[in-house]
């Protein structure tokens, strides 16, 4: 049994892990308010890896339980916006080495005609087109360099909150005791079930396909092709050597939730056969395709247990539809705010977790709501679609930066300040 439990988070002396922290951090007594205090993170995705690294910067002794045989991500793109890029920088990572800075975002109709083009800032924290595997690899390296312990093949079966913390039992029969556990283990988090009870997500009537195809070395532009009841998003990855495709369609036939359900490329070609521009050529090159149903999940009611033993972050707390490209960014923000809250109140974990929940609840709820609304905006039908597209074209000529300013409350937000 792994025993991380203590009567409380005692401030012990420097551990071997502390020697992995930069000298300038160790030289200031107030730089590591969580020194020697144990914590257990469930899940080694974006949220879990970022949280482990952030906690280690404050001196905590962090362990991660991951159910997979190795830390990896496959076959998907994501977008990191300035609010997420600031967290990566604060963790010591350079977003320019993880992804490609976005030059522009284009909205096009389903025939391929340009509706609006938004040039993206090229200075300061910017927007990035990233392969998910590259982001995970960078976060994993930072986590390991910080001295976090990782145990693989640890699928969580049972979580019991105790008087002194939590006991986690895994599928292989191992027990892990800890005074503080964090659920960063995604959509089907066992810790969320423990804290919040059963969820009742509902099928949105939309399904999504994702695919990676060979790239054409084109410009670093994210394109959204909007059609009646469906849309397709595409952007280059890894210097244009790959192209990411996500296609969404409204339909009544239910599809299972999850990212890894194979589908026939012919189904995608048939669904989007009316789309023009470069879309038909892209879809002809799809060889490996995945389909999943889009479900709307409520933001968790209980971010923490109230007694300073457990908390949720990332998709475990607030799964979001992909229409604002904020899933990874919200996870990064969560991780930073959670670690900072604990460091601000090292003797009051319960109070720290309340502060964290208060800081995050309204913001993520608003972002989730905006993602829900965007799905409708992309799928307009006649006569609304031509009118809306005409308004966008006029706005593009008169006030080209207006669209970006509309979302400044998301992108300009800096949780590291």
Instruction: Count how many Cα atoms sit within 13 Å of the Cα of residue 353 in the half-sphere of its side chain.
Output: 19
Interacting residues of 97 by C-beta distance below 8 A, sequence separation 6+: 138
CA gap 164, 186 in Å, rounded:
25
Count other C-beta atoms under 10 Å from residue 34's C-beta. 21
Instruction: Pick the closest to residue 289 from 208, 215, 230 (CA basis).
Output: 208
Q: Which residue has the tokens 């995705």?
A: 45
Token readout for 392 is 């966008």
Instruction: Pick the closest to residue 118 from 128, 99, 103 (CA basis).
Output: 103
Q: In what order do the strands lie in the sheet with 2-3?
A: 2-3, 175-178, 165-170, 156-162
- Beta-bridge mates of residue 290: 210, 262
Token readout for 336 is 């930073």
DSSP letter string, 118-157: EEPP-SSS--EEEEHHHHHHHHHHHHHHHT-EEE-S--EE
Token readout for 83 is 């609010």
H helix and E strand count, the chain: 12, 20
Q: Which residues are catalytic?
A: 235
CA gap 350, 310 in Å, rounded:
9
CA gap 38, 134 in Å, rounded:
28
Hey, is 285 helix, strand or coil?
Answer: coil
């Amino acid at each position: 049994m792994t025993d991380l439990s203590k009567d409380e988070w005692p401030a012990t002396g420097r551990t071997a892990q502390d020697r992995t922290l930069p000298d300038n951090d160790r030289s200031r007594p107030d730089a590591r308010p969580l020194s020697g205090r144990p914590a257990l993170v469930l899940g080694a995705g974006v949220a879990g890896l970022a949280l482990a690294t952030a906690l280690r910067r404050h001196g905590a002794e962090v362990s991660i339980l991951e159910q997979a045989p190795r830390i990896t991500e496959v076959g998907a793109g994501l977008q990191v916006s300035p609010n997420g890029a600031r967290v990566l920088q604060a963790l010591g990572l350079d977003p320019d080495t993880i992804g490609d800075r976005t030059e522009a975002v284009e909205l096009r109709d389903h025939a391929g005609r340009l509706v609006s083009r938004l040039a993206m800032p090229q200075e300061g924290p910017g927007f990035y087109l990233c392969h998910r595997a590259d982001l995970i690899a960078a976060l994993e390296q930072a986590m390991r360099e910080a001295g976090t312990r990782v145990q693989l093949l640890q699928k969580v079966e049972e979580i019991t909150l105790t008087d002194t913390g939590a006991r986690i039992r895994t599928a292989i029969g191992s027990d892990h005791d800890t005074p503080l556990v964090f659920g960063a283990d995604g959509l089907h988090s066992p810790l969320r079930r423990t804290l919040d009870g059963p969820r009742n997500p509902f099928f949105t009537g939309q399904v999504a396909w994702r695919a990676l195809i060979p790239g054409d070395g084109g410009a670093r532009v994210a394109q959204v092709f909007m059609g009646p009841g469906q849309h397709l998003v595409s952007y280059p990855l890894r210097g244009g050597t790959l192209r990411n495709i996500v296609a969404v369609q409204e339909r009544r036939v239910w599809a299972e939730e999850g990212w890894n359900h194979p589908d026939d490329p012919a189904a995608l070609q048939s669904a989007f056969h009316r789309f023009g521009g470069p879309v038909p050529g892209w879809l002809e090159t799809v060889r490996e395709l995945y389909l999943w149903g889009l479900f709307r999940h409520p933001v968790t009611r209980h971010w923490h247990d109230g007694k300073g033993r457990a908390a949720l972050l990332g998709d475990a707390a607030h799964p979001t539809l992909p229409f604002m490209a904020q899933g990874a960014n919200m996870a990064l923000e969560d991780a930073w705010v959670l670690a900072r809250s604990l460091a601000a109140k090292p003797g009051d974990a319960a109070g720290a977790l309340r502060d964290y929940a208060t800081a995050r609840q309204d913001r993520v709820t608003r972002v989730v709501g905006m993602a829900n609304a965007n799905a409708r905006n992309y799928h307009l039908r006649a006569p609304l679609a031509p009118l809306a597209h005409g308004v966008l074209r006029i706005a593009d000529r008169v006030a080209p930066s207006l669209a970006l300013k509309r979302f400044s409350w998301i992108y300009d937000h800096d949780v590291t300040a």
